[in-house]
């Protein structure tokens, strides 16, 4: 039998584990094994597989060594076969049409903040999913638990992304961005000059989630009125029980009620200022709740169906957001990430006074 590509098989396993919301450390085993094997000359790899010494390599354990040996023998690794058998069913009808229409993702994290993978890994996974763009939105400075980027680190990231874009395939680009904290007074946690430079600004509430309704409403309105903000991230901040062990940034199993604010006022402000409401696809968020999403559709809001991915496989979570969007009647032309990159950028520049 012709041998398979063991690196591709290991990466596919990692992707499927991430998509299943498995713990980061489990996924890491496969990603580090893939990196080790990729760096090895083919002859040495074959020799080690024959001699049974693959697991002596640093980064390769018994399980990953078995996968590599099976791949080299031309068999689909049993581990991969088992995972592939548990893949979800295909999307149907309106949800499938929405997913098909999406050209990119406006909310994703890398290992520069609390994500598990380098930017290039995230970008390559987005390319494989058929995206035309991925907006990189690492956290802002005050979110220290998530290793938020200082202004200096964000500037370095912008230089790094420019270099990566030169090397990525034509027809795909990483757009620059941030998930900026909406601070207690409604201001945004990054320098104005930087916010103006970024392609897309997602603003989210991560602290003082139990503020009373009047205070939270004022805070959110101030953020929406800020010309730099483009997308309002995970509207209510709720956490729901989700399958899988979760990852560093968003541990599953801990639930949290939605925060309290004047939904009608906040959504009306989004419409007035042309800002998009995020439909956050994470299985442990699924935010906004369906009833609120229906109100947003009726109010005339724009939307962005995002994954908030912290690992490459999680970029495939858009299906969950699409299912909910379809149920609530979200029209595809009001979904900003169904637009080509140029139109998306025109929109973000349009309400920021020129960035």
Binding-site ranges for Zn ion (CB under 5 A): 179, 204, 308
Residues whose CB falls within 8 Å of the CB of residue 89, separated by 6 or more in sequence, listed in order: none
Collapsed DSSP state (helix, strand, coil) of residue 257: coil
Chain-centroid distance of CA 11 in Å reads 18
CA–CA gap between residue 195 and residue 188 (Å, rounded): 9
* Shortest reach from residue 136's CB to Zn ion, in Å: 11
Can you say whether residue 20 is alpha, beta or left, with left for phi > 0 and alpha for psi between -120 and 50 degrees?
A: alpha
* Shortest reach from residue 204's CB to Zn ion, in Å: 4
Tokens of 17: 């584990």
Nearer to Zn ion, 204 or 338 (CB): 204
Nearer to Zn ion, 71 or 204 (CB): 204
* Shortest reach from residue 348's CB to Zn ion, in Å: 18
Chain-centroid distance of CA 261 in Å reads 26
Nearer to Zn ion, 64 or 204 (CB): 204
Nearer to Zn ion, 30 or 303 (CB): 303
Strand partners, 204: 181
- Neighbouring CB atoms inside 10 A of 257's CB total 12
* Shortest reach from residue 19's CB to Zn ion, in Å: 17
Nearer to Zn ion, 9 or 308 (CB): 308
* Shortest reach from residue 181's CB to Zn ion, in Å: 9
Helix axes 318-327, 93-101, angle to 10 degrees: 130
């Amino acid at each position: 039998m012709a041998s398979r590509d063991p690196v591709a098989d290991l990466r596919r396993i990692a992707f499927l584990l991430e998509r299943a919301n498995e713990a980061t450390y489990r996924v890491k085993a496969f990603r580090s094994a893939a990196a080790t094997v990729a760096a090895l000359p083919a002859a040495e790899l074959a020799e080690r597989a024959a001699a049974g010494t693959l697991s002596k390599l640093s980064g390769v354990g018994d399980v990953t060594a078995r996968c590599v040996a099976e791949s080299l023998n031309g068999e689909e690794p049993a581990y991969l076969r088992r995972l592939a058998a548990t893949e979800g069913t295909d999307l149907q009808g309106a949800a499938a049409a929405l997913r098909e229409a999406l050209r990119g993702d406006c909310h994703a994290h890398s290992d520069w903040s609390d994500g598990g993978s380098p930017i290039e890994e995230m970008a390559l996974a987005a390319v494989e999913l058929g995206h035309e763009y991925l907006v990189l939105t690492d956290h802002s400075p005050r979110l220290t638990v998530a290793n938020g980027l200082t202004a200096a680190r964000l500037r370095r990231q912008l230089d790094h992304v420019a270099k990566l874009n030169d090397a990525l395939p034509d027809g795909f680009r990483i757009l620059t961005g941030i998930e900026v904290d909406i601070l207690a007074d409604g201001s945004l946690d990054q320098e104005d000059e930087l916010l103006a430079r970024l392609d897309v600004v997602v603003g989210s509430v991560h602290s003082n989630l139990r503020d009373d309704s009047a205070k939270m409403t004022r805070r959110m309105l101030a953020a929406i009125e800020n010309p730099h903000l483009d997308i309002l991230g995970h509207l209510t901040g709720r956490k729901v029980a989700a399958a899988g062990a979760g990852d560093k940034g968003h541990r599953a199993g801990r639930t949290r009620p939605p925060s309290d604010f004047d939904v009608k006022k906040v959504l009306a402000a989004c419409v007035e200022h042309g800002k998009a409401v995020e439909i956050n696809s994470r299985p442990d968020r699924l935010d906004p709740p369906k009833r609120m999403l229906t109100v947003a559709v009726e109010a005339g809001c724009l939307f962005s169906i995002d994954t908030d991915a912290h690992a490459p496989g999680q970029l495939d979570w858009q299906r969950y957001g699409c299912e909910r969007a379809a149920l609530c009647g979200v029209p595809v032309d009001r979904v900003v990430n169904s637009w080509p990159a140029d139109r998306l950028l025109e929109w973000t520049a349009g309400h920021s006074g020129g960035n």
